[in-house]
Amino acid sequence: MNEIRTNEWWRILSNYESSDLVKTCFRAMHGGDLNTSKASEICAAITQARGYMESASSAGRSVRPLLLYYGVLGLARGLTLFLSTSLREACLAQAHGLSASSWGEALTREGGSMGDLKIKLNANGTLQQLIAATDHRTFLRNNSSKPNCVIKYESPPTDTEVSLADILSRIPEVRPFYSRWLPDSREIVAFWPQNDHPGDKKRWRVDPPYTAEDVRAVMGDAVHELNTTDSVISILVSGDYAPYMSDTVGHWSVGNVVAMTPFPGELRLSKTVITFMAAYCLGMLARYYPSQWTATLGNQRHTVALPTLLATMDYIADEFPRMIVEFLEPPVAPSSGGGLFERTNDGFQQ
């Protein structure tokens, strides 16, 4: 059976392929009525995205990255239309909002790595409209199966440049593969806030596979005390410490928060933006450098990166639809603070 048909997020998204249901959801979010023509534009974007994703789920690896990216693009466009009260399909950007920087040289250079591939944020494009529509927010799950925290980041400046390694190293779900490819990279640490807060400090727990070296690399001087018992790490951090964060799904679909090092230039990007960028990189690699991509698939070149890239494709297919649903039907109120947690129930607060 096609995996899209059994995906819980696509079951929710199917409601956004009905104009009448889109009108109802739009009214619930914005408080106003949506005309039929714009409702149809939203439905068309979601329906087309589903088609691309369905095709990607059964496509060969040589073309799957491109189909996934077009699915991501369609979902981003549909969400942007839904979140805007005035934007119409004709006004959506025709550009991606990203551009590749000297990929041919990086891919063919002796000893080069796919992790060195760089992309630049442009002034205009689908990604910029998505950032504006979502207010560059990230929904997080702290010991919860549903989002219970929200963070808002500043919009990234034009011409910001990041590498594929920068992007993939900040996707916790691909870490088991990425850490074999580039084992010296220490950019993320999953942690569990504890209830006892001694004085002006906060106590967090860090479990394997994360190590004390990971903690020190990511959290740095914010760590005041670190103790290890049977591979479980207990740390005390400054009370005002607010790391750059994401989350990851654990057992029983319960998520936990992850601290990350910012991108170069202290840049902080939302999960949605990071995933869009990852999809763009893989899609452009398959589309414009097919000889390099097929050589990687054929175990001829850049093979050490392949398991990470395949895991990233699975992550995009599984998680990007969920991120879209969280914005269409937000479980928590948007945060008004820049870069800070907002507590929405009993639990982690910053």
Report which of 213, 157, 142, 209 is spatially closest to residue 178, judged by C-alpha positions. Answer: 209
- Confidence (pLDDT) at 106: 87
- Going from the C-alpha of 141 to that of each of 57, 317, 331, the distances in angstroms are 27, 19, 11
pLDDT at 160: 92
Q: What is the pLDDT of residue 339?
A: 34
- Would you state the pLDDT for residue 145? 86
pLDDT for res 161: 95
Backbone φ and ψ for 40, nearest 5 degrees, come out as -65, -35
Q: If phi over 0 gives left and psi between -120 and 50 gives alpha, with beta otherwise, what is residue 311?
A: alpha
Amino acid 4: pLDDT = 66
What pLDDT is recorded for position 7? 82
Distance between CA atoms of 117 and 84, rounded to whole angstroms? 33
Residue 212 has a pLDDT of 96
Residue 333 confidence (pLDDT) = 52
Alpha-carbon distance of 91 to 86, in angstroms, equals 10
Residue 209: asked if its preceding bond is cis (omega within 30°), the reply is: yes
Tokens (6 digits) for 29:
């979010």
Q: Counting beta carbons within 10 angstroms of the beta carbon of residue 38, is it exposed (0 to 12), middle (13 to 18) or buried (19 or more)?
A: buried
DSSP state of 333: P
- Contact at 8 Å (CB) between 69 and 100? no
The reported pLDDT for the residue numbered 102 is 87
| Residues in CB range of 92: below 8 A, 6 or more apart | 77, 80, 81, 126, 129
Question: Other CB atoms closer than 10 Å to residue 53's CB: what's the count?
Answer: 26
Residue 261 CB partners (closer than 8 Å, separation 6+): 186, 187, 188, 217, 218, 244
pLDDT of residue 157: 94
Burial (0-12, 13-18, 19+ Cβ within 10 Å), 262: middle
Residue with tokens 């409601």: 15
- Two tokens, residue 236: 């005390």
CA–CA separation, 187 and 167 (whole Å): 10
Q: Is 74:49 a contact under the CB 8 Å cutoff?
A: yes
Q: Residue 3 has what pLDDT?
A: 63
Query: What stretches in the chain show pLDDT beneath 50?
Result: 1, 334-350
pLDDT value of position 112 = 82
Q: Cα dihedral angle (190, 196, 200, 201), rounded to 10 degrees?
A: -30
Nearest alpha-carbon partner for 137 in 302, 337, 292:
337
Helix (H, G, I), strand (E, B) or coil at 214: helix
